[in-house]
Chain A
Amino acid sequence: MLEIDRLTLTLPLGRTGAPLPVLENVSLAVNRGERLGIVGESGSGKTLLALAILGLLPEGARAEGAIRFDGVDLLRRSAEARRAYRGRRIGMVFQEPMTALHPMLTIGDQIGEGIALHQGLRGAALRRAVLELLAQVRLPDPDRQINAYPHALSGGQRQRVGLAVALSGNPNLLIADEPTTALDATVQREILALLRDLTEARGLGLLLVSHDLGVVAHITQRLLVLYAGQAVETGPTLALLEQPLHPYLRGLRAAVPRLGRALTPIPGTLPTPQERGPGCRFSSRCAWSIGPCAEAQALRPLKARTVACWQAESLQACQQAGNLQACQQAGNLQACQQAGGLE
């Protein structure tokens, strides 16, 4: 349904305003009923990717490549034509639903607006449709809440309403940008379950953007890991999280605190677009960095996934050998070979 083909995005940045790439050669695909997670830190380009699909890029942005929705390249369409896709074909759920909801309109009016626009319903039929949608997003007491204003709702309820607004145009694809980051853990779990059930019941595609591995692990089937504007690893979510083959994802995975284990943060910081060189962008923070890392490595298939790392085979071999830390301490590659992993 949605297919992004080698999308490169440049933005004028910094004092000089020189155009710098914030996303490079990112490709992905989401089919009906499929849930894809996009993981990355602030500055990785994950939110811009979502905005590019919606055609809501900031002024001065230039996009190359293709964003195809049901075969139509949205980048080649006029702004007018793209607006028709927002809401009706592609729905968006935001991190803070308050920013997406109008404070002076009742939630019934806001959800009804989309339904009226896209399905042409009026009066009692419209009210029934709104109530049905509110029931679908499991908002408690919809008969009363339909007349409530957004400020009267809790954070979790607002996100349910935000979801109902996103669904009001009956879209085929839902883009959710950090939809649960502002919520408590128990509410977060409920909203994620709701997202999963809705995508299954309606056959929706879901693009879930998050920095939280726990969130994407919970409901997505496939994962795309972004680092400094490039995809570094893609594949089935569980396989990626259980056995990350890119050192960045491995580092992220190890940075989640666990009981009785010393915290192992990734040293250093994400390079800004100005600081990015030609080679592997993670190499300055990477314990596995070797000579070839000065050259960029493209995504290549490995073990039912794709990964952009010269060392991926070594990591995989070491994981099979079951003694990654020992390998690494002994000076990785050679040690790994001795551990018997490399073909």
Chain B
Amino acid sequence: MSVPVLDVRGVSRLYPLPQRTLFGAPPSFAAVSDISFTLADGECLAIVGESGCGKSTLARLIAGLDQPSAGSILWGPMPPDTVRVQMVFQDPYGSFNPRRKIGWSLLEPLHHSPLSPAARLARLAELLSEVGLPADVAERYPHQFSGGQRQRLALARALMPRPRLLIADEPTSALDLSVQAQILALLGELRTRHKLALLLISHNLAAVRAVADRMMVMAEGKSVEQGLSRDILKHPQHFITQKLFEAELALPDLILFS
């Protein structure tokens, strides 16, 4: 068993609610409540649940964009020239500053890096080709790209500083079906090549099915079921998981694939 990249222990995030009574502690709302899990090197964990279940808040806590109210987020040893975590977001249209050229945005994660300008540009070209885009896209502006292309660019940006963990928050839910498959396949490919640990936040079971080793089902800020995604997808135990699976609109099975 390899050393975990990430060890999340009893993490909660409370948001204060407006005071209802004059005295006494103000009420609070637990967006995330006592979540624990570990993530090994190169492993993919999917966090599944309906909107408002706390999965995106959890992602922000792990990314360090928000601070937990309780619990701890521990990181394993980091090799030199790597960073802990990067993120890919749901909305491909809000992921890039519309006034900046793509090249500028993609180099942004390296602004603390000791790399020389030439080495940065080499890394940029390398990652653009890995996500299947020509090097000259660096000179263009975000509005010149489709949603799918922007998610490719977002993946390239996230990988620039060599993260150990990539958090993908609903990376395909704003995309067309055939583009979703392309981005998921690319995510799988990049994960293997860069030995990334991957945290996939999704309400889309199809996406989870395609890439995740393990999954955690969340509801109302709590984890209701955790395990190997293969097992849970076949035999969901918790009724919330079962409800989630039943709601998925299955396609008739293709004769030629059966």
Identify the A interface with B (CB < 8 A). 41-43, 155, 184-186, 188-189, 192, 211-215, 217-218, 238, 241-243, 251-261, 263-267, 269, 318-319, 322-324
Measured between alpha carbons, how far is A209 from B114 in the docked complex, in Å?
Answer: 51
User: Is B193 positioned at the interface, with any CB of A under 8 Å from its CB?
Assistant: no
Interchain CB contact (< 8 A) of B180 among A254, A255, A258: A255
Count, chain B residues at interface, CB 8 A: 38
On whether the beta carbons of B181 and A185 are closer than 8 Å, the reply is no
Chain B residue numbers with a CB within 8 Å of A243 are 254-256
Given A217-B249, A241-B252, A269-B146, residue A255 in contact with residue B50 (CB < 8 A): no
Give Cα A259 to B257, complex, Å: 13
Given known A-B contacts A42-B176, A257-B206, A214 and B181 have beta carbons under 8 A apart: no
> For the complex, is B3 an interface residue (Cβ under 8 Å from A)?
no
Complex interface: chain B residues within 8 A of A214 (CB)? 248-251
Distance (whole angstroms) from the CB of B206 to the closest CB of chain A: 4
B176: contacting residue among A155, A211, A256, CB under 8 A = A211
- Tell me if B185 counts as interface (CB < 8 A to partner A): yes
Given contacts A184-B203, A212-B177, A255-B180, 18 further A-B contacts (CB under 8 A): A41-B176, A42-B147, A155-B51, A185-B205, A217-B252, A241-B251, A243-B254, A243-B255, A243-B256, A251-B178, A258-B209, A260-B230, A263-B184, A263-B188, A265-B181, A269-B179, A318-B256, A322-B255
Establish whether residues B244 and A185, one from each chain, have CB atoms under 8 Å apart when the complex forms.
Answer: yes
Closest beta carbon of chain B to A243's beta carbon, Å:
6
Inter-chain contacts of A218 with B (CB < 8 A): 249
B233 at the A interface (CB under 8 A): yes
Which B-chain residue is minimally distant from A323 (CB atoms)? B256
Whether A186 contacts B50 by the Cβ 8 Å rule is yes
Contact check, B181 vs A256: say whether CB atoms are below 8 A apart: yes
Do the beta carbons of B249 and A252 come within 8 Å of each other? no
Q: Does B115 contact A (CB under 8 A)?
A: no
Asked if B119 is at the interface (CB within 8 A of a chain A CB), the reply is no
Among B141-187, those with CB < 8 Å from A are: 146-149, 176-182, 184-185
Out of B50, B51, B177, name the residue touching A252 (CB < 8 Å).
Answer: B177
Task: Kindly report which residue of chain B lies nearest to residue A266, judged by CB atoms.
Answer: B178
| Residue contact B177 to A189, C-beta cutoff 8 Å | no
Point out the residues of chain A lying under 8 angstroms from B251, CB to CB: 213-214, 217, 241, 253, 256
Quick check: A185 and B180 within 8 Å, CB to CB?
no
Find A324's partner among B178, B230, B249, B256 (CB 8 Å cutoff). B256
CA distance A189 to B149 in the complex (A): 30
CB distance B244 to A186 under 8 Å? yes
Please, which residue of chain A has its CB at the minimum distance from the CB of B132? Answer: A267
Chain B residues, CB < 8 A from A241 = 251-252
- Quick check: B249 and A257 within 8 Å, CB to CB? no
A266 to B253, CA, bound (A): 19
CB-defined contacts of A265 to chain B, threshold 8 Å: 178, 181-182, 184-185
Cα distance, A214 to B257, chains bound together (Å): 17
CB distance from A42 to the nearest CB of B (A): 5
CA distance A319 to B188 in the complex (A): 29
Q: 8 shortest A-B CB distances, which residue pairs? A: A214-B249, A257-B210, A255-B181, A265-B181, A185-B247, A41-B176, A186-B247, A265-B182
